[in-house]
Structure 1
Amino acid sequence: MTTVERTVLGVGIDRVDGGQKASGSAPYSGDVTYPGLVHAVLVRSTIAAGRIAAIDASGAEEVPGVLAVVTHENAPRVQRSPATPLWRQPPAPLQRTDIVHHGQYVAMVVADTVEQATEAARLVEVAYEPAEAVVRLDDPRAVDVEDPYGSDQTRGDSAAGLADADVVIDAQYTTPDETNNPMGLFATVAAWDGDRLTVHDTTQWPDSTRNALAGAFGVPESGVRVLAPFVGGGFGAGLRVWPHVILAAMAARVVGRPVKLMLTRPQMFTGIGHRPATIQRIRLGARRDGTLTAIEHESVQPSAIDDDNIVESVTTVSSVGYACPNVTTRDRLRRLNVPVPTSMRGPGDAQGHFGLECALDELAYELGIDPLELRMRNYAEEHPQLRLPWSSKALRRCYELGAERFGWWERDPQPRSMRRGDTLIGYGMAGVTFFWFQQPCEARATIDREGRAFVRSAATDIGTGTYTVMTQLSADRLGLRVDQVRMGLGDTELPSAPMQGGSGMTASLGSAIHDAAGNLIAAFLDLVADDIASPLRGLTAADVVAVDGRLQRRDDPAAGESYREMLDRHDLPDLTADGSAVPAKPEELGLAPAGPFAARFAEVHVDADLGRISVARLVTVVDAGRILNPKTARSQIIGGAVGGIGMALLEETVTDPGTGRIVNATFGDYLIAVNADVPDLDVSFVGDPDRFNPVGVKGVGEIGLVGVAPAIANAVFHATGRRIRTLPLTLDKLL
């Protein structure tokens, strides 16, 4: 390991983009302006099912400053955007009369100012022919749809395993709809120049947005540029190309001027997805010694009437989390008159872990075995489904260190046995096995005569610290200081990149940058391959190390020269190399790709008379492979844990069953964890570099949330003796 590696990677440096964000100079899409910029405001449906009978826009058109009122009657025809490798985009907006959810866009007003457009939007009159809506997941009228992606898993014979069990747990767990709710409102600015379109968007996947816009408007992808250098949070809401993005580009084409469209907070609840609710049935079979004999995990979740189905893999954790010979998992969809669901931080696993980890807690109490010991006895030493060694796994160490830091073994295991005055005290825990995700990615690296590097890719940074850790990685690989590296992100004119989601960006982009930097070093060696003045003549990349802005012989550190010297001597302003990364396949490496693992330990306090629940402590130990920056990694775990507390105790998107209207679509009504709800959070990292990518990393963006809710729910049971199987855990369920 070189000196640079010891001082650049693994160091908790401040965010390299922190100054821009603190000063307000970071360019978010909502801040962008153009000469002659005008504003679009959307009109939403007030019914959940039926059709538009008539629209009267005459009142709106008379408002001063109004340039256009666009409805299904006069909207340009656009195509549904093409599918990504992961899902199809939502249907094209303003192309039909049928209404499939409350809040569906039925008109758009474009005016000189946002105030004029907002006033005119209020004057658009829409007459409907309503139909009966189905909005509840447990409504018997709802139509079931099989998982189109075939994510169900089976091994062994779960029915036989249950029959052979000494103890069987059979329980239903439910989680509600939740809404992503990033603080920043989503905004799109669109400007046409002939058939060329430039869009500034709140997106977690610029390349996907470019492809969707090109497909919708029938223009070449090369004629669309999408910029998202900074994204004010997304939590999954920015992964798909939502109707308002298409509408902003449509408005700009209709009026022939640049258009800004910024959603309101209520529109954020219906227009950019949400975490889908689940109804889960879990059956666990075990012998008296705690050995699992069977797991059956079934889940149903909502799908929008006209969506081509994102399926949250809610039950996947039950197929990979523990060693069990007989497992059956099944995910189903149920079509409802609801807005299109989408991924939300920890998609599927957040809900699935709640069901499985609570069921394991129930099993532990039924058997009289400590909940942590039960998990240890069913520890999966290899991938249970693939029967391959994990690329890395330190979950056992997570359990051990977490129990030690929390003081787990000091608890009285008897429910309702620990109290302080009128306060009941409970300890609960959960294990976490998060999915692995990595996609192909490209990057480009340049070094100039000043010895500075410019590294870039179309990937975004949604606040996770991508700018910072990729700057550190680039500096490490090229032997530079952090302040000698500039990172360019969020522009589709840069090398293509996957979505910032699935906790896969660090592995995907990091591997591409690793390759680009290696290729750049090789390019410098090619430059001096026949240079008699160079001490590096005839060497290969394996013969040198990059340190302090220079390449030097591995066997003779005094023999080397700087990037600047090589460029000067060959009269070149800079040198550039591209890199790419394609995830390996398990069979190629003989390894099962491992996502991050974690252990959660929670202490809750419950008012014995009022049922009020508060989280007093939360200890998290994570195996995330190589940690490039412990400060930003810890920040991600803390932020996720705050979301997990919200999931456990507060968050629920409430839909009126009669109208299909979301009744708490504001920050005043939708409860989110705030400072008073969050205790000091203890976070530790363990584990070795992962073997499935050259950087050795695993994602930390989502595992911070997963497992928090079941740990808290299990602690509530220990405190009160009451088992709550429905989120959120509210005091009325304890009274």
Structure 2
Amino acid sequence: MTADSLPLIGAGLDRVDAPLKVTGSAHYPNDFGYPGMVHAALVRATIAAGRISAIDTSQAQAAPGVLTVITHLTAPRLERGPMTLLGPSPPAPLQDDRILHYGQHVAIVVADTAEQARHAASLVRVEYETAKALLDLDDPRAEVLTDPWSLDTDRGDLDAGFAAADVVVEGTYTTPDNTNNPLGLMSTIALWHGDSVTVHDSTQWPHNVRTSLAQIFKVPESGIRVLAPYVGGGFGAGLRMWPHVILTVLAARELGRPVKLVLTRPEMFTSVGHRPNSVMRFKIGATRDGELVAIDADGVSSVAMEDDDYEPVSLCAAVSYACPNVRTRDRQVRLNIPCPGSMRAPAEGQGNFALESAIDELAHKLGMDPLELRLRNFAEVDPLSGLPWSSNALRECYRQGAERFGWSRRSPEPGSMREGRRLVGYGLAAVSYPAYQVPCQARASLHRDGSAFVRSAATDIGTGTYTVMTQLVAELLGLPTSRVRFDLGDSDMPYSPQAGGSGLTGALGNAVHAACRRLLREFLDLVGDDADSPLRGAGLGDVTVSEGCIHRIGAPDQGEAYTDILARHGLEGLSADGRSIPPQSEELGMAIAGAFGAKFVEVRIDPDLGLLRVARVVSAIDGGRILNEKTATSQITGGTVGGISQAMFEDTATDRETGRIANATFGDYLIPVNADVPDMDVIFVGGPDRATPVGTKGVGEVGLVGLAAAIANAVHHATGRRIRSLPITIDQLLL
């Protein structure tokens, strides 16, 4: 069976962009070049707080090949970028002499070659007036922000709930800074053409870069084109427009030549965001039979001095279980750190670790199976609104996941399961990730040769957007996938939101659905009064599509090919635009559901050496309609590896005296290698979500959420030790 003859939606088709990638023909931002292109390098601050008292660029200016050195003394005044869907833009660079974090850009050097630029950057001499840096969440001098986005929750009577509780557990859970670290170094190329500029950038959101640059450089958006057809990963690092992009565009304007900047790996740790650290205090009360009666959750996380990134880490406690009395509070502490940003499963990645660890502690104290406790407190309706879910297959995730994993073989007593000398532990975590959709647009065209071309300014960061949209277009228009071209990554195309928050497939898929339906309507309008057409007078509800033809439902012989319609009317093609609008709970009378899941983990621990290994992971996922089982499985698999990494390896270590990141290389920043990755099993349950035409819910983030808690819970089952801080290290496991 060929790929073209497979059922399209849900079929595990190979990636349509795979041949380009494996042959090296897919062009990433770093791969482009222009005649006369020159290269930039950054100079970064070596203190975390203070001011620049002097900066000497004379040696750098005199170095071979150097064309310019821009500092705060020579840079023009730049306006801060606009408010975005993800909050305010980061501050503009080189605007004054203040140093707000170690690694802050204090100069950009441009030379004929990258080597010359890097050498010259090392010659820039900077003197500082050093101030005492704020680097600790508990520092009493630090400014504390309370609920900046008004997301705190309070329902029921918390005091009464705890008074009614037979069992109460309390715990403090901590997570460190993590750094996104996509394999591809983030890069930018800028080329001005008079008052217009073309930018190649490692972004997950071309339209945001265009809008931001337009405001910062006072250029009409129509004069800015941002290109990102392929991006070497992101994990959230490409969601904001970072200062190095501004500096590259600024240097290109000053020189009147194309400028290319590629961040080094250490620069990636201070230039493109990170998952902020957090401290979460949870208190949970339940009756003797396991009914939750009260949850009190407080979260504290870090934020940069002049940034507004916000991750409400405690919020998941308000939406995950049926509990009548819940309070969540989140605060941020301003520190001298690089700007945080979204990293895969922001907020939920941290908050779920605390919540699901506390639920496990409660189950142990009650003497109840952790799975049974979760089942008893399943939220039949949305806990915040009281509305029925648009879809929720979490119960089925529990059932199928437990069966596949063999949860019934779990011996309840900690330390009771062994394989040889190794301790064996089984752990579980429930998972949810909130629904996220924003408006999106797409344009669909069908040409006289019978091929379709559909485009939108989205990005594919490795998630499979090219492929699933090709499949969707093929099904909606009744074409083989070989006759469909889907294009993206160009801000001149119709507007698309960011590839992030597990929301792009839904927003873009619904826009593509609308565009293809409108295109069909254009064809039907064309033959509406055509006496020679068997489709005369037909509406959308009267027809279906297959094999490049539109025909009446139940009557394949009463139809005609797109190509015949176009030829008869002397047209080279037809086009139509479509847009998606986020569904509204109030209008639909139901709560818009995000993804749900259950994660089951088996660990093995050497009690003498404290060595922890994850042996098996089963992920049962309700992601709504699965457009491509192969790419969706890949997303969950990749997320699982990321969750293992969060649980056992990742820790961005900042020196508490200087603010320097001490492990900003792949030699020092630990991430899993092949030997750390276990057998993984992925099950998709549930069906299309009722809230949107396409019915997807997203699988990007939900793959990571829950792994840290499930592993920590499995460690407790294996050893009796409750781990409340990440990552889980050898010293915590030496028995």
Q: Do Structure 1 and Structure 2 share a fold, with TM-score over 0.5?
A: yes
Q: Secondary structure at the match of 2:424?
A: strand
Is contact 1:43–1:106 with CA below 8 Å preserved after alignment? yes
Is contact 1:4–1:479 with CA below 8 Å preserved after alignment? no
Code of the aligned partner of 1:292? L
| Structure 2 Cα separation of the partners of residues 219 and 608 of structure 1 | 63
Q: Secondary structure at the match of 2:515?
A: helix
| Structure 2 Cα separation of the partners of residues 11 and 86 of structure 1 | 33
For residues 386-416 of structure 1, give each alpha carbon's deviation from its aligned partner in whole angstroms, at most 9, with x where no partner exists.
1001000100000011111111111111001
| Shift, 1:147, TM fit | 2.2
| Structure 2 Cα separation of the partners of residues 649 and 340 of structure 1 | 24
Q: Secondary structure at the match of 1:648?
A: helix
For residues 302-322 of structure 1, give each alpha carbon's deviation from its aligned partner in whole angstroms, at most 9, with x where no partner exists.
010111x11112122111100
Is contact 1:528–1:537 with CA below 8 Å preserved after alignment? yes
For residues 479-499 of structure 1, give each alpha carbon's deviation from its aligned partner in whole angstroms, at most 9, with x where no partner exists.
000111001101011000101
**Does residue 569 of the first structure (1) align with residue 568 of the second (2)?**
yes
Code of the aligned partner of 1:347? P
**Does residue 463 of the first structure (1) align with residue 469 of the second (2)?**
no
In the TM superposition, 1:135-534 aligns within 5 A as: 135-307=135-307, 309-534=308-533
Q: Tell me what 2:102 maps to.
A: 102
In the TM superposition, 1:692-707 aligns within 5 A as: 692-707=691-706
Q: Tell me what 1:130 maps to.
A: 130
**Does residue 61 of the first structure (1) align with residue 61 of the second (2)?**
yes
| Structure 2 Cα separation of the partners of residues 579 and 554 of structure 1 | 24
| Structure 2 Cα separation of the partners of residues 583 and 276 of structure 1 | 29
Q: Secondary structure at the match of 1:8?
A: coil
Q: Tell me what 2:115 maps to.
A: 115
| Shift, 1:139, TM fit | 2.5
Is contact 1:29–1:200 with CA below 8 Å preserved after alignment? yes
Is contact 2:188–2:200 with CA below 8 Å preserved after alignment? yes
| Structure 1 Cα separation of the partners of residues 185 and 452 of structure 2 | 34
Q: Secondary structure at the match of 1:558?
A: strand
Code of the aligned partner of 2:642? G
| Structure 1 Cα separation of the partners of residues 158 and 671 of structure 2 | 39
Is contact 2:416–2:718 with CA below 8 Å preserved after alignment? yes
Q: Bigger CA drift: 153-162 or 683-692?
A: 153-162
For residues 430-477 of structure 1, give each alpha carbon's deviation from its aligned partner in whole angstroms, at most 9, with x where no partner exists.
000111100100000000011100000001111000000000000000
**Does residue 39 of the first structure (1) align with residue 39 of the second (2)?**
yes
**Does residue 81 of the first structure (1) align with residue 95 of the second (2)?**
no
In the TM superposition, 1:508-657 aligns within 5 A as: 508-657=507-656
Q: Secondary structure at the match of 1:512?
A: helix
| Shift, 1:86, TM fit | 2.8
| Structure 2 Cα separation of the partners of residues 4 and 292 of structure 1 | 51
| Structure 2 Cα separation of the partners of residues 658 and 378 of structure 1 | 46
Q: Tell me what 1:52 maps to.
A: 52
| Structure 2 Cα separation of the partners of residues 483 and 97 of structure 1 | 56
| Structure 2 Cα separation of the partners of residues 550 and 297 of structure 1 | 57
| Structure 2 Cα separation of the partners of residues 91 and 223 of structure 1 | 23
Is contact 1:41–1:110 with CA below 8 Å preserved after alignment? yes
Q: Secondary structure at the match of 2:84?
A: coil
For residues 585-607 of structure 1, give each alpha carbon's deviation from its aligned partner in whole angstroms, at most 9, with x where no partner exists.
10110110111100000000010
| Structure 2 Cα separation of the partners of residues 14 and 137 of structure 1 | 46
For residues 536-570 of structure 1, give each alpha carbon's deviation from its aligned partner in whole angstroms, at most 9, with x where no partner exists.
11111111101110100114221100000000001
**Does residue 712 of the first structure (1) align with residue 711 of the second (2)?**
yes
| Structure 2 Cα separation of the partners of residues 310 and 147 of structure 1 | 12
Code of the aligned partner of 1:335? R
Code of the aligned partner of 1:727? L
Code of the aligned partner of 1:17? D
For residues 78-123 of structure 1, give each alpha carbon's deviation from its aligned partner in whole angstroms, at most 9, with x where no partner exists.
2111111331111100111000000000001000000000000000
Superposition RMSD on alpha carbons, in Å? 1.0
Q: Secondary structure at the match of 1:302?
A: strand
Is contact 1:4–1:548 with CA below 8 Å preserved after alignment? no
| Structure 2 Cα separation of the partners of residues 556 and 587 of structure 1 | 40
Q: Secondary structure at the match of 1:559?
A: strand
Code of the aligned partner of 1:530? D
| Shift, 1:4, TM fit | 9.3
| Structure 2 Cα separation of the partners of residues 399 and 84 of structure 1 | 37
Is contact 1:161–1:294 with CA below 8 Å preserved after alignment? yes
Q: Bigger CA drift: 121-130 or 133-142?
A: 133-142
Code of the aligned partner of 1:85? L
Is contact 2:279–2:300 with CA below 8 Å preserved after alignment? yes
| Structure 1 Cα separation of the partners of residues 673 and 686 of structure 2 | 31
Is contact 1:4–1:476 with CA below 8 Å preserved after alignment? no
Q: Tell me what 1:691 maps to.
A: 690
Is contact 1:300–1:331 with CA below 8 Å preserved after alignment? yes
Q: Secondary structure at the match of 1:383?
A: coil
Is contact 1:503–1:701 with CA below 8 Å preserved after alignment? yes
Q: Secondary structure at the match of 1:16?
A: coil
| Structure 2 Cα separation of the partners of residues 557 and 229 of structure 1 | 39
Q: Bigger CA drift: 53-62 or 157-166?
A: 157-166
| Structure 2 Cα separation of the partners of residues 315 and 616 of structure 1 | 30
| Structure 2 Cα separation of the partners of residues 547 and 183 of structure 1 | 41
| Structure 2 Cα separation of the partners of residues 491 and 708 of structure 1 | 35
| Structure 2 Cα separation of the partners of residues 274 and 649 of structure 1 | 17
Is contact 1:5–1:476 with CA below 8 Å preserved after alignment? no
Q: Secondary structure at the match of 1:356?
A: helix
| Structure 2 Cα separation of the partners of residues 139 and 699 of structure 1 | 39
In structure 2, the CA distance between the partners of 1:406 and 1:11, relative to structure 1 (3 Å rule), is same
Q: Bigger CA drift: 456-465 or 549-558?
A: 549-558
For residues 12-54 of structure 1, give each alpha carbon's deviation from its aligned partner in whole angstroms, at most 9, with x where no partner exists.
0000000111111111101110110000100000000000001
**TM score, norm. by length of structure 1:** 0.99
Is contact 2:168–2:283 with CA below 8 Å preserved after alignment? yes
| Shift, 1:5, TM fit | 10
| Shift, 1:140, TM fit | 2.9
State percent identity of aligned pairs. Answer: 60
Code of the aligned partner of 2:583? A
| Structure 2 Cα separation of the partners of residues 129 and 468 of structure 1 | 53
In structure 2, the CA distance between the partners of 1:497 and 1:209, relative to structure 1 (3 Å rule), is same
| Shift, 1:153, TM fit | 1.0
Code of the aligned partner of 2:130? P
| Structure 2 Cα separation of the partners of residues 197 and 478 of structure 1 | 36
Code of the aligned partner of 1:113? T
| Structure 1 Cα separation of the partners of residues 570 and 463 of structure 2 | 39
| Structure 2 Cα separation of the partners of residues 596 and 62 of structure 1 | 57
Q: Secondary structure at the match of 2:102?
A: coil
Unaligned runs of 5+ in 2: none
Q: Secondary structure at the match of 1:7?
A: coil
Code of the aligned partner of 1:246? I
| Structure 2 Cα separation of the partners of residues 331 and 439 of structure 1 | 25
| Structure 2 Cα separation of the partners of residues 520 and 166 of structure 1 | 62
Is contact 2:252–2:259 with CA below 8 Å preserved after alignment? yes
Q: Tell me what 1:729 maps to.
A: 728
